[in-house]
């Protein structure tokens, strides 16, 4: 069959803008391969909802490749063992894939694959698909390099692929065959490129007009956010094509009169800002892989095994007695998605009010988020838990968040039907409902809906004192400066604080840097939404 090039699809389930596929096709016969790894799906951050979305993407990818001439080949097992079988059966002249900034398991897996390729003298060509830069020496100039990558021409699919005679494509396994626990998610997005393209079109031309105004509230975010995050996380769309589609839409708008443009230019600017932040956070994990497991700032370390099981279960199941927290968690369980501000609040309440370790709560959220992207996820978990050392301490008030972003209680009543009888005046704090009124309404506080498992105001005060006391410890500022230099955004032009400045000066400048690095995220729907 001549020179055999294996294209290893991972989280890049598409043929469009797929440089490894295009370049491999120019060198010889292509074996398009997906390896479903049971060990990967047994990890604590994997779930059946992830697999369902992925499997739908694989079905469409198989069809796309079949139209080119060679269907997707699916094998189950360890990647290096599958590759070795291919080498012995056919001979392999090259291995192609996109670079991946995954979890700790995939990092170790890729090291094994690299060792296999070196052992057999097979070149492994890894090509970036995001703005993430491998072996980055300095963050200086990172944004310019991101722009350069996003401006590269989109790679067209190959004109055709030669069929591999006698090679069975292999079945795509079911969640049950992978021994994944049942994970009902009735509101889950469908996987596959067609759905991603339809979302991109509807967002850029219809749904996104008020993106900048409506991303913070869960009552509007499900419709007004792009909802592209899962498609970017699983690679059914490429970051580059999304950036370029947004800019083409912006250019078309500039030719229209102001009244026809309306708020679209501002909405698209906000959207593109978040495309930058997507890669900014993944870059942190790429540059420091243990960020998934260890606190970024060592003086913020907590005992990860110290989770109160009752509090953790209440938070996971949406029964903390804090209505807006519980409604957001139940929405997430049922749909696989919630907007960023609500994600941040869930993590903040878990870390600060409930004093739960960020790793335990982060794993639960990872399994629920259909758009789980390890680089973004673990950076954000640490940021909201206050363990980065460089970000402003945020302790969300879950009562005020509900009152601000669901003032009429529409979201609460949808996800907490047990509160239907509670009047709006008491809806966000049902424990304040007077006893006689509760009796007349037929509502039993603590029975129909639980009392809060903590006093939210007292818990917030205690958390604030605890966190600020930690930041006063000797050596905290010097370590934070080093973290800022390595991971902080450079887009604002703020430099890391000088070691010669006073402690107060360092704290002031680090707060400014922290705002630059984090406050924009208050509006971004994690992974873009």
Lowest-pLDDT range, 84-88, 142-146, 391-395?
A: 391-395
Q: Which residues of 304-343 are buried (b: 16+ CB within 10 A; e: fewer)?
A: eeebeeebbebbbebbbbbbbbbbbbbbbbbbbbbbbbbb
- Is pLDDT at 499 greater than 50 in this prediction? no
**Residue 90 to residue 82: CA distance in whole angstroms:** 12
**Residue 199 to residue 107: CA distance in whole angstroms:** 31
Q: How far apart, in Å, do the first and last CA atoms of the chain sit? A: 44
Q: Which of 73, 75, 68, 69 is nearest to 16 (CA)?
A: 68
CB atoms inside a 10 Å sphere around CB 198: 12
Beta-strand pair 73-76/29-36? parallel
pLDDT, residue 491, reads 52
Question: Would you give the DSSP letter of residue 29?
Answer: E
Question: Would you give the DSSP letter of residue 261?
Answer: H
Handedness of CA 468, 287, 306, 330 (dihedral sign): positive
pLDDT tier for residue 2 given thresholds of 50, 70 and 90: low
- Give the domains, in start order, of the chain with CATH numbers: 4-127 (3.40.50.620), 193-291 (1.25.40), 296-528 (1.10.579.10)
Q: Tell me the mean pLDDT in the region 81-93.
A: 96
CB atoms inside a 10 Å sphere around CB 209: 18
**Residue 522 to residue 529: CA distance in whole angstroms:** 13
pLDDT, residue 127, reads 98
pTM, to two decimals: 0.91
506 vs 45: which has the higher pLDDT: 45
**Residue 520 to residue 273: CA distance in whole angstroms:** 9
Collect all residues with Cβ–Cβ distance below 8 Å to 472 and sequence separation of at least 6.
Answer: none
Each residue's pLDDT tens digit, 327-358: 999 999 999 999 999 999 999 999 999 999 99
**Residue 7 to residue 397: CA distance in whole angstroms:** 49
Phi first, then psi, for residue 129 (nearest 5°) are -120, -15
**Cβ neighbourhood burial of 451 (10 Å; 0-12, 13-18, 19+):** exposed
**C-beta of residue 114 within 8 angstroms of C-beta of residue 122:** no
Which helix (H) or strand (E) is 124 found in, with range? strand 124-127
Q: Tell me the mean pLDDT in the region 276-280.
A: 94
**C-beta of residue 521 within 8 angstroms of C-beta of residue 173:** no
- Is pLDDT at 501 greater than 70 in this prediction? no
Distance of CA 114 to the CA centre of its chain: 26
**C-beta of residue 103 within 8 angstroms of C-beta of residue 45:** yes
pLDDT, residue 497, reads 33
Each residue's pLDDT tens digit, 22-36: 999 999 999 999 999
pLDDT tier for residue 1 given thresholds of 50, 70 and 90: low
pLDDT, residue 303, reads 80
**Residue 265 to residue 453: CA distance in whole angstroms:** 44
**Residue 106 to residue 109: CA distance in whole angstroms:** 5
Q: 3-state secondary structure string, 307-371? A: CCHHHHHHHHHCCCCCHHHHHHHHHHHHHCCCCHHHHHHHHHHHHHHCCCCHHHHHHHHHHHCCC
Q: What is the dihedral of CA 463, 467, 469, 470, to 10 degrees?
A: 140
**C-beta of residue 291 within 8 angstroms of C-beta of residue 389:** no
Q: Please report, for residues 35, 180, 222, the alpha-carbon distance to residue 190 in angstroms, rounded to integers and kept in the order given.
A: 21, 19, 15
Give percent above pLDDT 70 in the chain: 92
The full length of the chain comes to 529
**Residue 352 to residue 467: CA distance in whole angstroms:** 9
pLDDT, residue 429, reads 98
């Amino acid at each position: 069959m001549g020179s055999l090039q294996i294209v290893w699809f991972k989280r890049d389930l598409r043929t469009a803008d797929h440089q490894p596929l295009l370049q491999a096709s120019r060198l010889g016969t292509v074996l398009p391969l997906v390896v479903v790894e049971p060990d990967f799906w047994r990890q604590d951050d994997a779930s059946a909802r992830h697999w369902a979305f992925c499997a739908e993407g694989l079905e469409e990818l198989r069809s796309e490749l079949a139209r080119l001439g060679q269907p997707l080949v699916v094998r189950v097992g360890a990647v290096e063992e599958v590759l070795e079988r291919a080498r012995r059966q056919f001979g392999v002249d090259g291995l192609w894939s996109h670079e991946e900034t995954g979890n700790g398991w995939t990092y170790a897996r890729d090291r094994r694959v690299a060792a296999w390729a070196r052992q057999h003298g097979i070149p492994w060509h890894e090509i970036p698909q995001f703005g993430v830069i491998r072996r980055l020496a300095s963050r200086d100039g990172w944004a310019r390099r991101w722009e350069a990558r996003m401006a590269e021409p989109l790679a067209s699919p190959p004109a055709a692929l030669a069929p591999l005679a006698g090679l069975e494509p292999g079945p795509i396994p079911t969640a049950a065959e992978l021994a994944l626990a049942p994970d009902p998610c009735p509101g889950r997005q469908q996987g596959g490129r067609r759905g991603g393209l339809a979302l991109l079109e509807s967002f850029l031309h219809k749904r996104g007009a008020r993106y900048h105004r409506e991303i913070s509230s869960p009552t509007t975010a499900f419709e007004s956010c792009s909802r592209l995050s899962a498609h970017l996380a699983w690679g059914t769309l490429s970051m580059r094509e999304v950036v370029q589609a947004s800019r083409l839409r912006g250019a078309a708008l500039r030719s229209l009169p102001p009244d026809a443009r309306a708020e679209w230019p501002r909405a698209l600017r906000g959207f593109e800002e978040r495309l930058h932040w997507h890669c900014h956070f993944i870059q942190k994990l790429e540059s420091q892989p243990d960020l998934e497991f260890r606190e970024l700032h060592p003086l913020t370390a907590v005992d990860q095994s110290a989770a109160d099981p009752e509090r953790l279960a209440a938070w996971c199941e949406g029964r903390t007695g804090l209505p807006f927290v519980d409604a957001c968690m139940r929405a997430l369980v049922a749909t696989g998605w919630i907007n960023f501000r609500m994600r941040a609040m869930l993590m903040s309440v878990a870390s600060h009010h409930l004093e739960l370790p960020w790793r335990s709560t982060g794993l639960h959220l990872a399994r629920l988020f259909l758009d789980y992207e390890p680089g973004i996820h673990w950076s954000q978990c640490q940021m909201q838990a206050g363990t980065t050392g460089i970000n402003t301490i945020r302790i969300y008030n879950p009562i005020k968040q509900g009152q601000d972003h669901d003032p009429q209680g529409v979201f609460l009543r949808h996800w907490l039907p047990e509160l239907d009888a509670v009047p709006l005046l008491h809806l966000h704090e049902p424990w304040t409902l007077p006893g006689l009124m509760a009796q007349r309404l037929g509502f039993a506080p603590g029975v129909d809906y639980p009392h809060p498992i903590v006093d939210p105001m007292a818990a917030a005060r205690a958390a604030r004192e605890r966190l600020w006391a930690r930041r006063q410890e000797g050596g905290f500022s010097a370590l934070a400066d080093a973290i800022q230099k390595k991971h902080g955004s450079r887009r604002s032009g703020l430099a890391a604080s000088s070691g010669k400045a006073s402690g107060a000066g360092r704290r002031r400048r680090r707060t400014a840097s922290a705002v630059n690095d984090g406050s924009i995220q208050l509006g971004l729907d994690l992974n873009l939404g």
